[in-house]
């Protein structure tokens, strides 16, 4: 209860600061020397609609002034000719490791959370990350790792990043994915997830397609937990298929029904790769559900290929028919080779890596990015399995370079809204501190991305997925530069945990 009081006071102070922000920018602070000043840049802030040249003054990790005149700072960074945007917030970042985080920082990301697979147990994982990350980090209380605890008594923390761990999970342990849970086990599973929320997880993560044995009754119980605690629930839906039964549309209908029945706040992961050609219908479903009171949101990444563990349930028999593709549409991430039936069978048994899955039509990607319902998230993976998908390094620069500048699919303001404000606000109902992210305003956290709109572009490819983006000039996390003049700042680790104060009794 004490936590709630402190939170209210902090929120009040913040809102007051926001209210007098423009005045503070114009009149206050004369004679002030800020810690850092970004001078002469084009400030684009979707929350206020501001798109104009301003100086941004930063002190004590917060934005202290946004002014039309030149501000004084101990560290003045000339950003004239560049866009100054709120730091990008990625709600779907599996790469919770040093290499991935640095690549994301160089892609303009200042907060990267794994809200899909998540972790279990939660508290030790957060403790382990403290002081080790250039960008803000966090993870959901994960249904997959909790089911692993239930069925195998494994305290695995974050899901595997090494070949050995992948073998353990997908070859030796199978029950977490393929064994149904009894009513007593479902009670225990819900209790494990609730413990994860009490540890401060900012939501619940569910990767339904990877746990085919998790019945609709089990998932409804997990949604009930989300509804009761107000923790948002993030779901990779049950099926990807263009035909019923088991179509992509039905998979979305299941979670929309669960959200409507429980009052849970629902986020559907990567709508384009889960929806494929059914994506327009799914977007209609989501839009209609929102108009009728269901709190649901969604996201997409800007690529025509997916990527996932070849040994997972994703590739259980019938995958080719369901997805409408065949062996040659799969690429073994570690080597870049296209698969055949023989190499598919061989690699699937060894479980040491991911396949790139070329299955998303470009017009589906474009439809998703253009939809005002859809925010941007990378679904970036871990980089220790010998190869990966470029989305972990290039998603955000690709949106700005290819879909804003080259193709004009969306405007710059919309792109920045989809990459910063929308994802920050998605969590803010449960994690009030997220209201200080995703915006450039006095009192907001000084998480800032400065890029060259004429040059910003992804460089990561399916063959070379770890090439950092270009045109991202400066990235500040809590006012500390982690990327400066396009280069990572060695040893800068200002990233803080994103967590909920979930110890309050639920209403
Ligand atoms: Zn997913």
Q: How far is CA 311 from CA 168, 179, 273, 453, in A?
A: 11, 17, 19, 40
Cα 308 to ligand 1 centre (Å): 8
Among candidate residues 41, 36, 72, 128, the one with its CA nearest the CA of residue 478: 36
Q: How far is the CA of 379 from the centre of ligand 1 (A)?
A: 7
460 CA from centroid of ligand 1 (Å): 20
- 116 alpha carbon – ligand 1 mean position (Å): 7
The predicted pLDDT at position 388 comes to: 83
Ligand 1 centre to CA of 92 (Å) is: 8
Residue 237 CA, ligand 1 centroid: distance in Å: 8
164: confidence class by pLDDT, cuts 50, 70, 90? confident
Question: What's the gap in Å between 212 CA and the centre of ligand 1?
Answer: 14
Written as six digits, the tokens of 144 are 């997959």
CA of 269 to the centre of ligand 1 (A): 6
| Nearest C-alpha neighbor of 14 from the set 411, 441, 314 | 441
Q: Say how far residue 4 (Cα) sits from the centre of its chain.
A: 26
> Does position 425 have pLDDT exceeding 60, yes or no?
yes
From 47-51, 111-115, 351-355, the region with the lowest mean pLDDT: 351-355
Cα 502 to Cα 380: distance, rounded to the nearest angstrom: 27
The reply to whether the predicted model has a pTM over 0.85 is yes
Q: Nearest Cα to 439, choosing from 46, 147, 16, 94?
A: 46
Distance 19 CA to ligand 1 centre (A): 39
Distance 108 CA to ligand 1 centre (A): 22
Dig out the tokens for 461 from the structure. Answer: 């490819």
- pLDDT for res 160: 72
507 CB-contact burial (10 Å; exposed 0-12 / middle 13-18 / buried 19+): exposed
Inter-residue contact 250 to 281 (CB < 8 Å)? no
**What is the CA(175)–ligand 1 centre distance, in A?**
20
- Residue 268 Cα to ligand 1 midpoint, Å, equals 9
Query: How many other β-carbons are positioned within 10 Å of the β-carbon of residue 489?
Result: 19
Cβ atoms < 10 Å from Cβ of 198:
16
Has residue 473 got a pLDDT over 90?
A: yes
């Amino acid at each position: 209860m004490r936590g709630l009081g402190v939170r209210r006071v902090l929120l009040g102070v913040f809102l007051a600061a926001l209210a007098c922000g423009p005045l503070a920018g114009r009149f206050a602070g004369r004679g002030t020397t800020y810690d850092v000043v970004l001078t002469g840049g084009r400030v684009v802030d979707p929350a206020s609609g501001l798109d104009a040249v301003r100086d941004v003054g930063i002190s004590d990790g917060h934005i202290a002034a946004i002014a039309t005149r030149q501000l004084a700072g101990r560290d003045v960074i000339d950003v004239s000719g560049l866009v100054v945007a709120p730091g990008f917030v990625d709600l779907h970042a599996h790469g919770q490791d040093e290499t991935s985080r640095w690549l994301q920082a160089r892609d303009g990301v200042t907060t990267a959370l794994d809200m899909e697979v998540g972790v279990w147990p939660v508290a030790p994982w957060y403790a382990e990350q403290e002081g080790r990350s250039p960008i803000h980090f966090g993870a959901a209380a994960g249904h997959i790792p909790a089911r692993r605890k239930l069925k195998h008594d494994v305290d695995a923390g974050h899901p595997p990043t090494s070949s050995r761990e992948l073998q353990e999970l997908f070859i030796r342990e199978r029950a977490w994915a393929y064994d149904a849970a009894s009513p007593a086990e479902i009670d225990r599973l819900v209790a494990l997830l609730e413990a994860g929320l009490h540890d401060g997880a900012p939501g619940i993560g569910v990767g339904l397609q990877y746990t085919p044995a998790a019945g609709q009754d089990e998932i409804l119980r997990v949604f009930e937990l989300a509804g009761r605690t107000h923790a948002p629930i993030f779901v990779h839906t049950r099926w990807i298929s263009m035909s019923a039964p088991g179509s992509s549309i039905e998979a979305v209908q299941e979670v929309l029904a669960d959200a409507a029945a429980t009052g849970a706040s629902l986020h559907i992961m990567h709508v384009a790769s889960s929806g494929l050609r059914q994506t327009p219908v799914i977007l209609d479903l989501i839009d209609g559900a929102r108009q009728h009171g269901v709190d649901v949101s969604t996201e997409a990444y800007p690529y025509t290929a997916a990527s996932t563990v070849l040994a997972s349930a994703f590739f259980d028999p019938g995958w080719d028919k369901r997805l409408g593709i065949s062996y040659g549409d799969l690429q073994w991430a570690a080597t870049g080779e296209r698969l055949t039936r023989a190499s598919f069978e061989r690699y699937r048994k060894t479980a040491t890596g991911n396949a790139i899955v070329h299955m998303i039509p470009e017009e589906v990607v474009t439809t998703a990015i253009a939809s005002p319902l859809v925010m941007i998230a990378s679904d970036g993976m871990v980089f220790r399995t010998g190869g990966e998908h470029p989305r972990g390094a290039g998603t955000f620069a690709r949106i700005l370079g290819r879909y804003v500048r080259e193709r004009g699919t969306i405007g710059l303001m919309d792109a920045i809204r989809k990459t910063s404000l929308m994802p920050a606000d998605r969590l803010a109902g449960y994690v009030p501190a997220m209201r200080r992210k995703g915006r450039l305003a006095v009192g907001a956290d000084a998480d800032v991305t400065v890029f060259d709109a004429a040059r910003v572009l992804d460089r990561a490819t399916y063959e070379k997925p770890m090439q950092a983006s270009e045109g991202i000039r400066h990235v500040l996390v809590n006012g500390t530069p982690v990327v400066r003049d396009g280069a990572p700042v060695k040893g800068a680790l200002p990233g803080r945990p994103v967590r909920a104060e979930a110890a309050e009794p639920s209403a």
